Chains A and B, each alone.
Chain A
Amino acid sequence: MVEMMRRIYLDNNATTPVLPEVLEAMHPYFGENFGNASSIHHHGQETRAAVERARDSVASLLGCRPAEIVFTSGGTEGDNLAIAGLAGAGNHIITSGVEHHAVLHAYKHLEETGCEVTFVPVDGRGLVDPEDVRRALRPNTKLISIMMANNETGVLQPVDEIGKIAAEADIYFHTDAVQAASKVPIDVRRIGCDVLSISGHKMHAPQGVGALYVRRGTQLQPLFYGGRHERSRRAGTENVPGIVGLGKAAELAMQGFECGDDKKISGLRNRLERGILAQVDEAGVNGEGAPRVPNTAGIYFDHIEGEPMVISLDLKGLAVSTGAACSSGAIEPSHVLTAMGLRADRARASIRFSLGKQNTAEDIDFALALVPETVARLREISPVYKRAAISS
């Protein structure tokens, strides 16, 4: 009976479904084209060609040379390789408080080994002020790492300006573009970054594959010891089907920009946001007023808690999320919203809706029918809400 339920997925910042074209492109590499891309024989040549075609596609998406692309297992590996590969004991790093855990926890480790880290603040919209980055520079600053788009709010950081500051100071600039890739055009030359990480499964390629742009001439200390794969920057046999899928997803993303997919998605997202805010009072958008990726709507609903909201919606067939999940799957208060200065109760009352290429206008209708009534029901039984209503 549970299986009969209509299920709508609006949690594409967590992961996206693999698009049919991507699955089709990957398919031969699980079967007939199974070779190891390092082998010298026919089978190896076949898969080597596929890996390099995918590298061309990913390089086109990011505006770099194919040789500047290193395939990884995903966003976390890319972020770790960028950070641990460039900075170490005695170095200073500048970053922000709204980065993903893949970045923040890498610093925690580096700090233990004698690396200093400065966390620049964000404003109420979630934006870093590039001047704060400039002011944080020290003689031993080795790396600036500021994300391109935030996973919880979709807010886009002024990475171009930060890239200029890094270039002037002649220090490395890494940007975690996991939540930006395929949602907004990326040009690594314009950003002026030395390293940029992306993840396959956030852009309709499979889980377990990602890529790191490494500007030519940048010396990275590898994370793994092994064979000389990926120009000795990432040891380990290539995940050929995954890489082929990432390449195909990159092509589809570029086609999407040409035919206005991003406009279509932002249209749906805006309809969702406006529709919710028209029906629900005492609610608002996290990151309002800042430039945002087209697919993300982080919305707070005063007087409710995000946790029962997400569970209630899931039980009715709508998949959304709140905060970041800890290892048990329980919800922890969002460090991103807290860093933006959101009140603790608002941070707990925030829900993230994130759209993907597969979402339709009907999906938005479904959410618009369900969300306001769920908020109303939760407020109805909330003692906090009743007290607030009486006192106002």
Chain B
Amino acid sequence: MSGGVDSSTVAAMLRAEGHDVIGLTMQLWNQRRLAGHEGMPEQVTGRCCSLDDVYDARRVAEHIGIPYYVVNHEERFERDVVRPFVAEYLSGRTPIPCSLCNNHLKFDQLLVVAQQIGADSVATGHYARVEYDDARGRWLLKRPADRSKDQTYFLFGLTQEQLSRTLFPLGGMTKPEVRERAREHGLALAEKPDSQEICFVPGGDYKRFIDAYLAESGEALPDTAGELMTASGEVIGAHSGIHNFTVGQRKGLGVATGSPLYVIQINGADKQVVVGGDEHLYSRTLRARRINLISVDDLREPMRVSVKIRHRHEAATAVLEKVGGDEILVSFDEPQRAITPGQAAVFYEDDIVVGGGWIV
């Protein structure tokens, strides 16, 4: 229970259906920890794990009459989400902390807690569907009824064991319907706005967060400055640090040319940022590693699917081909713009999530 509308409504619905519900909030990050450091805002309110959100979740639990506990997973969150997040940026990749959190915290540690305290399943407010397919003998992850809220992109890492103990009660509902249910259950937070940003990065300013985090840990910010160059290898300037860039970025390059320039590649090892015209952003293939397959147990032969390369991407048709023990080659029918290392490639067959991996 994050203290938001979705998980609160899930708790109220399950309680009303007569389930024996226990409310849990994961304390993942101390929002006060970096407040005021290195230009971070002094005041932090209204984000995940903030006192305001825990207060809201606690009031919902009390309102619907369920026991409620806050469980502390700050150490694990820092180790498995925050540090990799920082390391990925410093290596020139663009990470997705929400997927890491789902894989390592919400559907790992939370399931452990559930088992420890004697609960059969974990229900969350994610917009996705999970169901068992008799024919395949596998648990399936499917896109939700409300496509605009689809969160399956962040859930591709769920294993069969995790899916078998997970409930997504909002999978068949739209967000307006969820708010309506929240109102029906008398939840005071029915109109609370959705959270958008990365929960531990205030205002979405990840560069300032990295500065503040490293300074607080007593670690020097590694020198990631280097050359700015063109696709043909010509050095046209210097850049402030590879972690300040992401593939597809146009602003803040510090060079003036006649036609618009974009970051088309970041070479972490050489600290080079490669820029080029829009046409250079398109690519027909990508490679993904650390693969998790859901609807199939293996990729024995090439498979036609649709692939999402970022959360807000219209899935594009492609063929998957296994090219190593834990690597997949994705060949798109049409070139895709700004394929970004560090993001996930998630494979779909209609509504069904086939699996996914991390773009390298």
Are A and B associated in one complex?
A: yes
Binding site for B on A (CB under 8 A): 2, 305, 307-308, 311-312, 314-315, 326-332, 377-378, 381
Interface size on B, residues (CB 8 A): 19
Most chain-B CB neighbours within 10 Å: which of A2, A307, A326, A329?
A: A329
B113 contacts across to A, CB distance below 8 A: 307-308, 311
Residue contacts A-B, CB under 8 angstroms, 17 given: A308-B116, A308-B117, A311-B69, A311-B116, A314-B67, A314-B69, A315-B118, A328-B25, A328-B27, A328-B54, A328-B70, A329-B54, A330-B70, A330-B72, A330-B74, A331-B72, A377-B118
Interface membership of B283, Cβ < 8 A: no
With A2-B65, A314-B67, A329-B54: A381-B115 Cβ-Cβ less than 8 Å: yes
- Given A315-B117, A328-B49, A381-B115, decide whether A307 and B22 contact each other with a Cβ distance below 8 A: no
Interface centre among B72, B113, B118 (most CB of A within 10 A): B72
Question: Which chain B residues border A329 with CB–CB below 8 Å?
Answer: 54, 58, 69-70
Residues of B within 8 A of A378 (CB): 116
Nearest B residue to A325, CB-CB: B70
Question: How far, in angstroms, from A105 to B338 measured CA to CA in the complex?
Answer: 51
* Known contacts A328-B54, A329-B54, A330-B27; A312/B116 CB under 8 A: yes
Query: Which A residues are in CB contact (< 8 Å) with B117?
Result: 308, 311-312, 315
A307→B67 contact, CB < 8 A: no
- Chain A proximity of B95: nearest CB distance (Å): 25
New A-B contacts (13) at CB < 8 Å, excluding given A315-B67, A328-B25: A308-B113, A308-B116, A311-B71, A311-B113, A312-B116, A314-B69, A315-B22, A326-B27, A329-B70, A330-B70, A330-B74, A331-B72, A377-B118
Closest Cβ–Cβ distance, residue B172 to chain A (whole Å): 28
Q: Is B51 an interface residue (CB 8 A)?
A: yes
Asked whether, in the complex, the Cβ of B67 is within 8 Å of the Cβ of A2, the reply is yes
Chain A nearest CB, measured from B39 CB (Å): 22
A381-B118 Cα distance, complex, nearest whole Å:
11
State how many angstroms separate the Cβ of A326 from the closest Cβ of chain B.
8
B77 → A minimal CB distance (Å): 12
Which of A307, A312, A326, A331 has a CB less than 8 Å from the CB of B118? A312
Main secondary structure of the interface of A (DSSP, over half): mixed
Residues of B with C-beta under 8 A to A326:
27, 72
CB atoms of B67 and A381 under 8 A apart: no
- Chain B nearest CB from A327 CB (Å) reads 6
- A312–B113 alpha-carbon span in the complex (Å): 10
A213 vs B137: C-alpha distance when bound (angstroms)? 72
B72 touches A332 (CB 8 A): yes
For the complex, give the distance between the alpha carbons of A2 and B58 in Å.
17
| Least CB distance, B253 to chain A, in whole angstroms | 42
Closest residue on chain B to residue A1 by CB atoms: B20
CA distance in complex: A326, B118 (Å): 25
Q: Which of B22, B115, B116 has the most CB of A within 10 A?
A: B116
Chain B neighbourhood of A305, CB < 8 A: 116
Nearest residue in A to B116 (C-beta to C-beta)? Answer: A308
Q: What residues of A have a CB within 8 angstroms of the CB of B72 in the complex?
A: 307, 326, 330-332
In the complex, number of A-B residue pairs with CB atoms less than 8 Å apart = 50
Q: Which residues 45-91 of B have a CB within 8 angstroms of A? A: 49, 51, 54, 58, 65, 67, 69-72, 74
How far apart are B227's CB and chain A's nearest CB, in angstroms?
45
Residues of A within 8 A of B25 (CB): 328
Q: For residue B179, give the distance in angstroms from its CB to the closest CB of chain A.
A: 26
How far apart are the CA atoms of A378 and B113 in the complex, in Å?
10
Chain B residues positioned under 8 Å from A311 (CB to CB): 22, 69, 71, 113, 116-117
Q: Which 5 A-B pairs have the closest CB atoms?
A: A308-B116, A330-B27, A330-B72, A330-B70, A329-B70
- Distance to closest chain B CB from A338 (angstroms): 14
Q: Given the complex of chains A and B, what is the CA–CA distance between A308 and B113 in angstroms?
A: 6
Q: Give complex CA distance A377, B117 in Å.
A: 10
- Are A381 and B70 in contact (CB-based, < 8 A)? no
CA distance A206 to B116 in the complex (A): 35
Complex Cα spacing A381 to B67, Å: 23
- B124, chain A: closest CB distance, angstroms: 18
Q: How far is the CB of B276 from chain A (nearest CB, A)?
A: 48
Report how far A329 CA is from B69 CA in the complex, Å. 8
Please give me the residue from chain A that is nearest to B66 by CB atom. Answer: A2
Q: Are B116 and A330 in contact (CB under 8 A)?
A: no
CA distance A381 to B54 in the complex (A): 28
Which residue of the partner chain A has the closest CB to B20? A1
Q: How far is the CA of A311 from the CA of B114 in the complex (A)?
A: 10
Nearest B residue (CB) for A383: B112
Distance A330 CA – B67 CA, assembled complex (angstroms): 14
Residues of A within 8 A of B22 (CB): 311, 315
Bound: A314/B69 CA distance, A: 10
Q: How far does the alpha carbon of A105 sit from the alpha carbon of B340 in the complex, in Å?
A: 47
A329 to chain B: closest residue by CB: B70
Query: From A378, which residue of chain B is reached at the shortest CB distance?
Result: B116
Give min CB distance, B81 to chain A, whole Å.
17
Which residue in chain B gives the minimum CB-CB distance to A305?
Answer: B116
Q: Given the complex of chains A and B, what is the CA–CA distance between A8 and B49 in angstroms?
A: 31
Contacts of A315 in B (CB 8 A): 22, 67, 117-118
- Provide the residues of chain B in CB contact with A314, threshold 8 Å: 67, 69
Contact between A307 and B71, CB atoms less than 8 A apart: yes
List B contacts of A381 (CB < 8 A): 115-116
CA distance A381 to B72 in the complex (A): 19
B116 surroundings in chain A (CB, below 8 A): 305, 308, 311-312, 378, 381
Chain A residue nearest to B50 in the complex (CB): A328
Determine the distance from Cα of A1 to Cα of B67 in the docked complex, in whole angstroms.
12
Q: How far is the CB of B36 from chain A (nearest CB, A)?
A: 14
In this complex, what residue of A is CB-closest to B32? A327
Question: Of residues 26 to 41 in B, which have CB atoms within 8 Å of A's CB atoms?
Answer: 27
Q: Nearest-CB distance from A2 to chain B (Å)? A: 7
Tell me the bound Cα distance from A378 to B118 in angstroms.
10
CA distance A377 to B74 in the complex (A): 25
User: Which chain A residues lie closer than 8 Å to B65 at the CB level?
Assistant: 2
Please name all residues of chain A whose beta carbon is closer than 8 Å to the beta carbon of B71 when the two chains form the complex: 307-308, 311, 330-331
